[in-house]
């Protein structure tokens, strides 16, 4: 299928994607020309063809966007009651849902996420806006704390931090902005968004929804451009807080810049999470959730558990189950509804993943399925497809066992479960620089919970993984700083003020 036929798929559904080749940014409540003349291409990773382009933004664009957000922060937005802002969030949620198909197809053409995945993006985004709307009451609650020794009391105010820079990666280009945007807006902050270079278009559909919901001009702004532009935004004097999701190396640079500036920052970074298979695990049940928990979005999901830790007593059985399950998932055109695995999102990611596959083979791991680039036909010949790959006989020192691959590669390691001990599994799971996700598969839920409690990581799933909008999500160690989701995620956009008075 060529890009032209991808266009045909889109128009067969009676759609014209609202944003393809564009030369605007969103500032002061309107699409307006970028101050620069450069353009960045948007490539369909399933076909290798360029189907869109956006401005390669300039520092003047960042100035304009931050200035717009600063003016809006001086205006009515932070002075509305939280309930009034929550009403906007609910309207945005409705407007996002009206655009579900445009969002899904734009997202899938930007990063190759199968439509089975991206079709849920609008509902998920709407769900996040609706969840944060429920927290208006928390912000409105009077918080008066008596001095413990008497004689006075303090009125504790929770105030919005100001202009927030929201910087997102390409793997879930909608969700990873919304999880910042929704709490920032409820808190009363204004924002400037910088999406990742491969995925600058789907977020424009969200901006359309924000505008249609009547959010005041300047509250939400969008610039597009490279990591250099992101750096300009992070360091801009008008920015009060940075919220970043992306790789650990870039996260360190942003943390250093924010450290120098004493600027609050939230960092959601990389991961290398483990699924501990307990000796009593139900492997049939595990096979039903495996793709979602260990290879979601063609392995391009930060929290998935791509290291399967299998008990020696059942190692071959686990390898067989993982291999059969992964090999059965259809790889193909992301726009086909039954596609499970798409391409890597970018050419450079494709090369990185293939390099990891090569390193796994060179270090002596055994590919039980996959292990090479995939050659597809029907217009997908130039797509960035790597065969979904399972490596057995993986040892803890191999690069594929330690480093984040961010592609369709699962490693299966063996732990010694003699006498029913899972100590070695816990030690292996915790022996990484990261600490983002994790899973425990086991029939005895109490025993599984006890193992989860020993894992040094921000989230753990018992027999499945799903994130919960109401529960904190964040990484330890090289996986980041701070928290998103839940009241904890809202607090990251607030500054506290204590007003003391005598009583
Ligand atoms: P990335 O290279 O770190 O880029 C993330 C964003 O930062 C992009 O918008 C990028 O712009 C921008 N950027 C690059 N250099 C910058 C700089 N010096 N200052 C400010 N911004 C800069 O990450 P990615 O390759 O897009 O995404 C993959 C990574 O994201 C993986 O490591 C994955 O684990 C992580 N991730 C983490 C989570 C989580 O919640 N913990 C969730 C999803 C993904 P350009 O695109 O223009 O370079
Ligand atoms: Mg990158």
17-40 pLDDT per residue, tens: 999 999 999 999 999 999 999 999
Let me know: does 318 contact 279? Beta carbons within 8 Å. no
Q: Are residues 259 and 290 in the same domain?
A: no
* CA 247 / ligand 2 centre spacing (Å): 7
Share of the chain above pLDDT 90, in %: 96
Q: What is the CATH number of the domain that holds 337?
A: 3.40.309.10
Q: What is the pLDDT of residue 344?
A: 98
Active site residues per annotation: 268, 302
Kindly state if the Cβ of 234 falls inside 6 Å of ligand 1. yes
The SS3 call for residue 4 is helix
pLDDT at 157: 97
User: Which own/partner contact pairs does 55-60 have at CB distance under 8 Å and 24+ positions apart?
Assistant: 55/22, 55/23, 55/24, 55/25, 55/224, 55/225, 56/224, 56/225, 56/226, 56/229, 57/25, 57/223, 57/224, 57/225, 57/229, 58/34, 58/225, 58/229, 59/229, 59/232, 60/35, 60/36
| Distances in whole angstroms, Cα of residue 348 to Cα of each of 48, 151, 344 | 12, 64, 9
pLDDT at 7: 82
In a domain, 319, yes or no: yes
Cα(211)–Cα(491) distance, integer angstroms: 25
Q: Provide the percentage of residues in the chain whose pLDDT is more than 70.
A: 99
CATH number for the domain including 207?
3.40.605.10
Q: Are residues 383 and 485 in the same domain?
A: no
Band of the pLDDT at 151, cuts 50, 70, 90?
very high
Average pLDDT rounded to a whole number, residues 220-244: 98
The domain total for the chain is: 2
- What pLDDT does residue 2 have? 56
pLDDT at 14: 80
Q: Are residues 107 and 46 in the same domain?
A: yes
Hey, whose CA ends up nearest to atom 2 of ligand 1? 247
Please indicate, yes or no, if residue 486 is contained in any of the structural domains: yes
Q: How far apart are CA 297 and CA 161, in angstroms?
A: 34
From the list 463, 464, 462, 458, the residue with the least C-alpha distance to 271 is 458
Asked whether 230 lines ligand 1 (CB < 6 A), one says yes
Atom of ligand 1 at shortest distance to CA of 475?
Answer: 41
| 469 CA from centroid of ligand 1 (Å) | 22
Interval 275-297: pLDDT, tens: 999 999 999 999 999 999 999 99
Within-domain flag for 10: no
Cα separation, 201 vs 106, in Å, equals 7
Nearest ligand 1 atom, CA 257: 19
Residues 492 and 384 placed together within one structural domain of the fold: no
Looking at the fold, whether 186 and 141 belong to one and the same domain comes out as yes
Predicted pLDDT of residue 13: 80
Decide if 459 is inside a domain: yes
Domain membership flag for residue 5: no
Task: Give the residue among 374, 377, 300 at the shortest CA–CA distance from 107.
Answer: 300
Residues 257 and 349 in one domain: no
Least confident of 9-13, 141-145, 440-444, 486-490: 9-13
Q: For residue 125, what pLDDT is reported? A: 98
Query: Would you say the CB of residue 436 lies under 6 angstroms from ligand 1?
Result: yes
Rounded CA-CA distance 472/104 in Å is 26
Is residue 108 domain-resident? yes
**For residue 8, pLDDT beyond 90:** no
Q: Sign of torsion, CA 144 145 147 151? A: positive
Q: Which atom of ligand 1 is nearest to the CA of 249?
A: 3
Q: In this predicted structure, what is the pLDDT of residue 4?
A: 64
The answer on 456 and 346 residing in a single domain is yes
In angstroms, how far is the first alpha carbon of the chain from the final one?
75
**Span from the CA of 168 to the centroid of ligand 1 (angstroms):** 6
pLDDT class for 3, splitting at 50, 70, 90? low
Q: Could you tell me if 28 and 105 lie in one domain?
A: yes
6, part of any domain? no
Instruction: Say if 3 falls within a structural domain.
Output: no
pLDDT at position 1 over 70: no
pLDDT in tens, 76-94: 999 999 999 999 999 999 9
Q: Enter the DSSP assignment of 341.
A: B
**Average pLDDT score over residue span 171-194:** 98
* Ligand 1 pocket check for 480: Cβ under 6 Å: yes
* Same-domain status, 433 and 495: no
Check whether residue 450 and residue 489 sit in a common domain.
Answer: no
| Domain shared by 162 and 289, yes or no | no
In this structure, the answer to whether residues 408 and 426 fall within a common structural domain is yes
With a cut of 90, say whether residue 165 has pLDDT above it: yes
Q: What is the pLDDT of residues 97-136, one digit of tens each?
A: 999 999 999 999 999 999 999 999 999 999 999 999 999 9
Domain that holds residue 91: 22-269+479-499
Q: Look at residue 146 and tell me whether its pLDDT is greater than 70.
A: yes
Closest-approaching ligand to the CA atom of 62: 1
């Amino acid at each position: 299928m060529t890009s032209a036929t991808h266009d045909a798929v889109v128009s067969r559904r009676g759609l014209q994607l609202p944003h393809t080749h564009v030369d605007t940014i969103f500032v002061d409540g309107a699409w307006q020309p970028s101050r620069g003349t450069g353009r960045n291409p948007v490539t369909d990773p399933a076909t290798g063809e360029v189907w869109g382009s956006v401005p390669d933004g300039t520092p003047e664009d960042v100035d304009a966007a931050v200035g717009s957000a600063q003016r809006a922060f001086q205006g009515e937005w932070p002075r509305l009651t939280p309930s009034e802002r929550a009403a906007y969030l609910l309207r945005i949620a409705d407007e996002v849902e009206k655009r579900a198909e445009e969002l899904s197809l734009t997202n899938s053409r930007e990063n190759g996420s199968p439509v089975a995945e991206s079709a849920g993006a609008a509902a998920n985004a709407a769900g996040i806006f609706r969840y944060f709307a429920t927290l208006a009451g928390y912000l409105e609650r009077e918080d008066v704390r008596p001095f413990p020794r008497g004689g006075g009391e303090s009125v504790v105010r929770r105030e919005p931090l100001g202009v927030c820079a929201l910087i997102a990666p390409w793997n879930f280009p909608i969700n990873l902005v919304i999880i910042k945007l929704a709490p920032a807006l409820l808190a009363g902050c204004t924002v400037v968004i910088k999406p990742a270079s491969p995925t600058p278009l789907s977020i424009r559909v969200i901006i359309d929804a924000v505008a249609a919901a009547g959010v005041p001009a300047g509250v939400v702004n969008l610039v597009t451009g490279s990591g250099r532009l992101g750096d300009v935004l992070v360091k801009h004097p008008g920015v009060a807080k940075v919220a970043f999701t992306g790789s650990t190396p870039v996260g360190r640079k942003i943390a250093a810049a924010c450290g120098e500036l004493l600027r609050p920052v939230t960092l959601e970074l990389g991961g290398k999470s483990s699924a501990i298979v307990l000796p009593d695990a139900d492997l049939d049940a595990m096979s039903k959730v495996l793709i979602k928990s260990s290879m979601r979005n063609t392995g391009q999901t930060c929290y998935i558990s791509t290291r399967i830790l299998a008990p020696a007593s059942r190692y071959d059985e686990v390898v067989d189950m993982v291999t059969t399950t992964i090999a059965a998932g259809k790889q193909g055109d992301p726009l086909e509804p039954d596609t499970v695995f798409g391409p890597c999102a970018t050419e450079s990611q494709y090369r990185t993943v293939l390099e990891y596959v090569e390193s796994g083979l060179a270090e002596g791991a055994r590919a039980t399925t996959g292990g090479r680039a995939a050659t597809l036909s029907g217009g997908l010949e130039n797509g960035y497809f790597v065969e979904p790959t399972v490596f057995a006989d993986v040892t803890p020192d191999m690069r594929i066992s330690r480093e984040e691959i961010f592609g369709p590669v699962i490693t299966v390691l063996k732990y010694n479960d003699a006498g029913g001990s899972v100590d070695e599994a816990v030690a292996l799971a915790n022996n990484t620089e990261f600490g983002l996700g994790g899973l425990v598969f086991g029939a005895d839920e109490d025993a599984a919970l006890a193992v989860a409690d020993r894992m040094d990581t921000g989230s753990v799933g018992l027999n499945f993984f799903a994130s919960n909008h109401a529960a904190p999500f964040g990484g330890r160690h090289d996986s980041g700083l701070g928290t998103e989701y839940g009241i904890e995620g809202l607090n990251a956009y607030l500054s506290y003020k204590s007003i003391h008075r005598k009583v």
